[in-house]
Structure 1
Amino acid sequence: MTSRRSFLKWSALVAGATALGGGGLLLSRYPGGAPVGGGLAGAAGAGSGAAAAGSRIFRTANTPECLHCAMLAHVKDGRLVKVTGDPDFNVLACARGISRIRQLYSPHRLKYPMRRAGRRGEDRWERITWEEALDTIAERYRRILEEDGNQAFLAMGGTGNWSTLSTGVRGLYSAFWNRFGGATPIISQLCCASVSSGFNAIFGGGRSEFRDEWVHSRFFLAWGNNPAVSNQGYMKNLFDAREEHGARVVTIDPRLSETAALSDRWIQIRPGTDAALALGMVKVLLDEELFDAEYVRLHTNAPFLVRLGERGYDLQEASRSWPAGGESLPVDLRDLRLLTNGGTGPGSFVVWDERSGRPVAADTPGARAALRGSYTIDGVRYQPVFEWMRAIASRYTPEVVHRITGAPADSVAAVTREYASVRPAAIIQNMAGAQRTDHGTLTVIGHLYLASLTGNVGLLGGGVNDNGGYLSEGGTVNPPVPLQRNPRIEGIPATKLGEYLVERKPHPIRALHVAGTGVLTQYPNTRKIIEGLDNLDLMVVQDIFMTTTARYADFVLPVTTLFETRNLLAGIRSRYIQLMEQAIEPLFESRSDRWIMTELAKRLGFGNDFDKPDDDLLRYVLEPTGVTLDQLEEGPVNPMPDPWIPFADKKFNTPSGRIEFFSLYLQERGFDPLLEYLHPVEAPWVDERRAARYPLQLINRKNHNHVNSSFHHHDFLTEIWASQVLQIHPDDAKPRGIEDGGRIRVFNDRGEIEAMAQVTRGIMAGVVSVTTGWGAVNEKQTASILSPDKYEPISLGHTLNSSMVEVAGGGAASPGDTA
Structure 2
Amino acid sequence: MTWLGTTSHWGAYLARRRADGELEVAPHPADPAPSALLGNVPGTARHETRIARPAVRRGWLEHGPGPSSGRGREEFVEVGWDTALDLVAAELRRVRERHGDRAVFGGSYGWASAGRFHHAQSQLHRFLNATGGYTSSRGTYSFGTSAMLLPHLVGDADPLLRGADGWDVIRRRTDLVVAFGGLAPKNASVTPGGVTRHVGSAVLADWDGPELAVISPLASDVPPGRRTEWIRVRPATDVALMLGLAHTLLVEGLHDAEFLDRCTTGFDEFARYLRGGPGPERDADWASALCGMPAADIRALARRMASGRTLVSVSWSLQRSEHGEQPVWAGLVLAAMLGGIGLPGGGFGHGYGSIGDVGDTGPLLPLPTLPQGTNPVPEFIPVARIADLLLHPGDEFDYDGGRYRYPDVRAVYWAGGNPFHHHQDLNRLRRAFARPDTVVVHEPHWTATARHADVVLPVTTTLEREDIGAGRRDTHLIAMRRVLEPFREARDDHAVFAELAARLGVRAEFTAGRGTREWLVHLYERWRERLAADGHRVPPFAEFWDAGELELPVPPRTTPLAEFRADPAGSPLPTPSGRIELCPASIAAAGLPGHPVWLEPSDGLADDRFPLRLIAHQPRNRLHGQGDVGAVSRAAKIEGREPVRLHPDDAAARGITTGVVVRVFNERGACLAGALISDEVSPGVAVLATGAWYDPVDDPAQPGGSWCVHGNPNVLTADRPTSPLSQGCSGQQTRVQVERWTAEPPRLSCHRPPRLVPGPR
Under TM normalisation by the shorter chain, which class is it? 0.7 to 0.9
* Alignment check: 8 A CA contact 1:221 1:252 kept: yes
The Cα of 1:735 is off from its aligned counterpart by 3.6
The alpha-carbon distance between structure 1 residues 426 and 660, as it changes in their structure 2 partners (threshold 3 A), is: same
Q: TM-score, normalised by structure 2?
A: 0.80
Q: Which runs of 5+ in 2 are unaligned?
A: 60-69, 190-197, 395-405, 532-537, 565-571, 697-707, 753-761
For residue 757 of structure 2, what is the aligned residue in structure 1? none
The Cα of 1:733 is off from its aligned counterpart by 3.1
From 556, 563, 586, give the equivalent of 1:649. 563
* Alignment check: 8 A CA contact 1:252 1:266 kept: yes
The Cα of 1:523 is off from its aligned counterpart by 0.7
CA distance in 2, matches of 1:88, 1:307: 51
For residue 693 of structure 1, what is the aligned residue in structure 2? 609
Residue type of the alignment partner of 1:122? R
From 732, 736, 749, give the equivalent of 1:801. 732
CA distance in 1, matches of 2:232, 2:216: 5
The alpha-carbon distance between structure 1 residues 732 and 480, as it changes in their structure 2 partners (threshold 3 A), is: same
Residue type of the alignment partner of 1:614? T
Determine whether 1:484 maps to 2:430. no
The alpha-carbon distance between structure 1 residues 132 and 494, as it changes in their structure 2 partners (threshold 3 A), is: same
CA distance in 1, matches of 2:278, 2:507: 64
* Alignment check: 8 A CA contact 1:163 1:568 kept: yes
For residue 399 of structure 2, what is the aligned residue in structure 1? none
Residue type of the alignment partner of 2:16? H
Determine whether 1:223 maps to 2:187. no
> Highest CA radius of gyration, 1 or 2?
1
The Cα of 1:93 is off from its aligned counterpart by 2.9
> Equivalent residues in 2 for 1:289-304 (5 A)?
289-301=253-265
Residue type of the alignment partner of 2:692? W
> Equivalent residues in 2 for 1:397-416 (5 A)?
397-416=283-302
The Cα of 1:103 is off from its aligned counterpart by 1.8
For residue 252 of structure 1, what is the aligned residue in structure 2? 215
CA distance in 2, matches of 1:487, 1:554: 24
> Equivalent residues in 2 for 1:381-460 (5 A)?
395-423=281-309, 425-431=310-316, 433-460=317-344
SS of 2:265's partner is coil
The alpha-carbon distance between structure 1 residues 713 and 240, as it changes in their structure 2 partners (threshold 3 A), is: closer
For residue 594 of structure 1, what is the aligned residue in structure 2? 494
* RMSD (Å), alpha carbons: 3.3
The Cα of 1:203 is off from its aligned counterpart by 1.2
CA distance in 2, matches of 1:807, 1:499: 29
* Alignment check: 8 A CA contact 2:71 2:453 kept: yes
Determine whether 1:56 maps to 2:21. no
* Alignment check: 8 A CA contact 1:166 1:173 kept: no
Determine whether 1:612 maps to 2:553. no
* Alignment check: 8 A CA contact 1:267 1:411 kept: no
For residue 666 of structure 1, what is the aligned residue in structure 2? 587
The Cα of 1:74 is off from its aligned counterpart by 3.3
SS of 1:231's partner is helix
* Alignment check: 8 A CA contact 1:499 1:528 kept: no
* Alignment check: 8 A CA contact 1:179 1:606 kept: yes
Determine whether 1:635 maps to 2:523. no
Determine whether 1:121 maps to 2:72. yes
For residue 136 of structure 2, what is the aligned residue in structure 1? 185
For residue 94 of structure 1, what is the aligned residue in structure 2? 35
* Alignment check: 8 A CA contact 2:450 2:456 kept: yes
* Alignment check: 8 A CA contact 1:153 1:510 kept: yes
The Cα of 1:805 is off from its aligned counterpart by 1.9
Q: Which runs of 5+ in 1 are unaligned?
A: 1-54, 309-314, 326-394, 686-690
CA distance in 1, matches of 2:747, 2:344: 48
From 391, 398, 413, give the equivalent of 1:502. 391
> Equivalent residues in 2 for 1:187-336 (5 A)?
187-207=138-158, 208=161, 209-213=164-168, 214-216=170-172, 217-232=174-189, 233-235=198-200, 238=203, 242-243=207-208, 246-259=209-222, 262=225, 264-301=228-265, 322=277, 325=280
Determine whether 1:737 maps to 2:623. no
SS of 2:484's partner is coil
Residue type of the alignment partner of 1:147? R
SS of 1:701's partner is coil
The Cα of 1:527 is off from its aligned counterpart by 0.8
CA distance in 2, matches of 1:174, 1:495: 18
How many aligned positions are there? 671
CA distance in 1, matches of 2:233, 2:299: 15
CA distance in 2, matches of 1:256, 1:636: 39
For residue 715 of structure 2, what is the aligned residue in structure 1? 785
From 622, 628, 631, give the equivalent of 1:712. 628
CA distance in 1, matches of 2:440, 2:256: 56
* Alignment check: 8 A CA contact 1:655 1:664 kept: no
> Equivalent residues in 2 for 1:152-191 (5 A)?
152-158=103-109, 159-167=111-119, 171-191=122-142
CA distance in 1, matches of 2:240, 2:584: 18
The Cα of 1:566 is off from its aligned counterpart by 1.5
* Alignment check: 8 A CA contact 2:188 2:201 kept: no
CA distance in 2, matches of 1:286, 1:320: 9
For residue 665 of structure 2, what is the aligned residue in structure 1? 747
The Cα of 1:652 is off from its aligned counterpart by 2.2
Q: Which one is further off, 750-759 or 631-640?
A: 631-640
Q: Which one is further off, 495-504 or 195-204?
A: 495-504
The alpha-carbon distance between structure 1 residues 510 and 240, as it changes in their structure 2 partners (threshold 3 A), is: closer
The alpha-carbon distance between structure 1 residues 677 and 201, as it changes in their structure 2 partners (threshold 3 A), is: farther
The Cα of 1:178 is off from its aligned counterpart by 2.5
* Alignment check: 8 A CA contact 1:70 1:636 kept: no
For residue 682 of structure 2, what is the aligned residue in structure 1? 764
CA distance in 2, matches of 1:668, 1:549: 38
The Cα of 1:777 is off from its aligned counterpart by 5.7
SS of 1:257's partner is helix
The alpha-carbon distance between structure 1 residues 815 and 704, as it changes in their structure 2 partners (threshold 3 A), is: farther
The Cα of 1:197 is off from its aligned counterpart by 2.8
The Cα of 1:645 is off from its aligned counterpart by 4.5
For residue 619 of structure 2, what is the aligned residue in structure 1? 703
For residue 755 of structure 2, what is the aligned residue in structure 1? none
* Alignment check: 8 A CA contact 2:247 2:284 kept: no
Q: Which one is further off, 441-450 or 667-676?
A: 667-676
The alpha-carbon distance between structure 1 residues 239 and 76, as it changes in their structure 2 partners (threshold 3 A), is: closer
Greater RCO, 1 or 2 (C-alpha within 8 Å, sep 6+)? 2
SS of 1:56's partner is coil
Determine whether 1:150 maps to 2:101. yes
Q: Which one is further off, 609-618 or 263-272?
A: 609-618
For residue 66 of structure 2, what is the aligned residue in structure 1? none
> How much identity, in percent, do the aligned residues show?
24
Residue type of the alignment partner of 1:480? L
Q: Which one is further off, 750-759 or 224-233?
A: 224-233
The Cα of 1:654 is off from its aligned counterpart by 1.1
Determine whether 1:104 maps to 2:45. yes
Residue type of the alignment partner of 2:244? G
SS of 1:190's partner is coil
The Cα of 1:808 is off from its aligned counterpart by 2.1
* Alignment check: 8 A CA contact 1:165 1:173 kept: no
The alpha-carbon distance between structure 1 residues 180 and 415, as it changes in their structure 2 partners (threshold 3 A), is: farther
Residue type of the alignment partner of 1:56? T
> Equivalent residues in 2 for 1:372-383 (5 A)?
none
* Alignment check: 8 A CA contact 2:666 2:735 kept: yes
* Alignment check: 8 A CA contact 1:167 1:515 kept: no
The alpha-carbon distance between structure 1 residues 803 and 95, as it changes in their structure 2 partners (threshold 3 A), is: same
Residue type of the alignment partner of 1:717? S
Q: Which one is further off, 552-561 or 663-672?
A: 663-672
The Cα of 1:98 is off from its aligned counterpart by 4.8
SS of 2:2's partner is strand
